[in-house]
Amino acid sequence: MHNDAHEETILVLNSGSSSLKFGLFAPKGGDGNDSASDSSGDDEALLLSGAAEGIGRDDGSLRIRAPDGRVLLQRTHALESQTDALQKLSQVLAQQHHARPAAIGHRIVHGGPHLRVHQRITDDVRRQLHDALHFAPLHIPPALALIDEAVQIFGDAPHFACFDTAFHATLPPRAAQFALPHRYAQTGVIRYGFHGLSYESLVRQLGAALPPRAVFAHLGNGSSVCALRDGRSVDTSMGLTPTGGIPMGTRSGDLDPGVLLYLMRAERLDADALETLLNRHSGLAGYADGESDMQALEKRAAAGDAQASLALDAFASAVRKTIGGYAALLGGIDLLVLTGGIGENSEQIRRLVCDGLEFLGLPARKVRVLHTEEEKQIARHCRALMQSVVS
């Protein structure tokens, strides 16, 4: 690829709790067709992708792949933090003869009540993120640290924040507001919804083929379900935080609030202890003695492990109940889309989720499995924001 194309590259950083996924994108060549009805979604060309896994562990790894899946580089070594992983990544990009990116896109899980639109990261945006710490204490601090490190490494390039909550800004009040005194909603205690960048990418991929009534289910270590009318989010299972909704790998999902009051009183658990319990030791891991990996659970269930079978059944039932509820909300479902690591790769979970939904008229032609393209969606937003600044 020519150097002038390299100068238009966008590096996308997608941070998780113990991983850092990334993708390097260049504008698509050829006719430059960037229509939203382009079902291929291939307006951004992927130059390379990869992930730093096991951050904070001695067995951490850094893997970089070519667009065809070939492994360009694999290193196994301790990665102390996401910033350490980013430093290693920048070195490898230079070694792979990629020029410094023209822009950096950051996936921000939660921007709090005032940051709901994808935008360039300024000092003011960074301050607002810091002020929103209490909305997402597990997610915002590492995001801020990663932004700071990326600015140090790629300081002259513009940095853009893409928020997982932005897609759900269309939620009507009945879905967004909790049944609490109204003053809490005015201070930002509302349903934000997450996996928005994943859902945006599905809307983009489907284009004109997206029917008026659709339900998307992003099923992975974190899982959520979203009801869409005419391509807009009208309800979603996650709430104020990504802990709500259906049970997940290590997160509880929705609980009777009285459970938390009981634990506070009977076991003297404070907010930090509750947060650790709900986010680190619950969900599938709670059902199955600490195991949260879906493939491992499926193997255990096949071997007759009752706790693993319970975890699979409870997870699939929660997804199925949510889909059924959204069918009632929408007055029917024209399309169900499953995505995410579990949604895309677990045939057993897909079968368990769909078994019993025949009454909704969901034969195979109305159920699709699509690969989520969060990083590509972030690259699209960054490209558009860059062009708006130039124009």
Active site residues: 164
Q: Going edge to edge, which strands form the sheet with 20-27?
A: 71-76, 61-65, 44-53, 20-27, 10-15, 103-108, 159-163, 119-120
94 phi, psi to nearest 5 deg: -65, -40
State the alpha helices, DSSP H only, in 217-305.
257-266, 271-280, 283-287, 294-302
Q: Which residues pair with 61 in a beta bridge?
A: 53, 76
DSSP 173-232: HHHHB-SS-HHHHHTT-B-----HHHHHHHHHHHGGG--SEEEEEE-SSS-EEEEEETTE
Among residues 379, 10, 8, which one has the least CA distance to residue 197?
379
Classify residue 2 as exposed, middle or buried by CB count within 10 Å of its CB (0-12, 13-18, 19+). Answer: exposed
What residue has token string 């289910």?
217
Secondary structure of residue 28 in the 3-state scheme: coil
Provide CB contacts within 8 A for 76, sequence distance 6+: 59, 60, 61
Provide CB contacts within 8 A for 346, sequence distance 6+: 219, 294, 295, 298
Beta strand 44-53 with 61-65 is antiparallel
